[in-house]
Structure 1
Amino acid sequence: MDENLLRSLIPGVITILVRRGAGFAAAEDAVQDALVEALRTRPHGPSPSPSSGGGAVRDLKGWLVTVAWRRFLDATRAEAARRRREDLLDQEPVPGPAPAADDTLQLYFLCAHPSLTPSSAVALTLRAVGGLTTRQIARAYLVPEATMAQRISRAKRTVSGVRFDRPGDVATVLRVLYLVFNEGYSGDVDLAAEAIRLTRQLAARVDHPEVAGLLALMLLHHARRPARTAPDGSLVPLAEQDRGRWDTASIAEGIGILQAALARDRLGEYQAQAAIAALHADAPTAGETDWVQIVEWYDELVRLTDSPVVRLNRAVAVGEADGPRAGLAALAALDASASGSPGTPGSPNSSDAPNTSGPPGRGRPIPRYTAVAAYLHERDGDLATAARLYAEAAREAPNLAERDHLTRQAARLNARG
Structure 2
Amino acid sequence: MRNFRLPQFRGVHSQAPFCLALSMLLASLGTSIVNIALPTLSLVFDASFHEVQWVVIVYLATLTVFVVPAGGLGDRFGRQRVLVFGLVLFSSASAFCGLASNLWLLIAARAAQGVGAAFMMTLTIALVRETIATARVGQTMGLLGTMSAIGTALGPSMGGLLAGWLGWRAIFMVLAPIGVLTAFLVLRALPDNAPSRGSARIDLSAFRDLHVLPYLIANFLVANIMMATLIVGPFYLAFALGLREAIVGMVMSIGPAISICAGVPSGRLVDMKGPRPVLSLGLIVLLSGAILLAMLPQIAGLSGYIMAIVVLTPGYQMFQSANNTLVMADVPTDRRGAISGLLGLSRNVGLVSGASIMGMIFNWGVGSSAIESAAPSAIVSGMRLTFLVGGASIAAALWFVRKRQGERFAL
TMscore range, shorter length:
under 0.3
Higher helix share: 2
Query: What is the TM-score normalised by the length of structure 2?
Result: 0.26
Structure possessing the higher radius of gyration over alpha carbons: 1
**Structure with larger RCO (C-alpha < 8 A, sep 6+):** 2
TM norm structure 1: 0.26
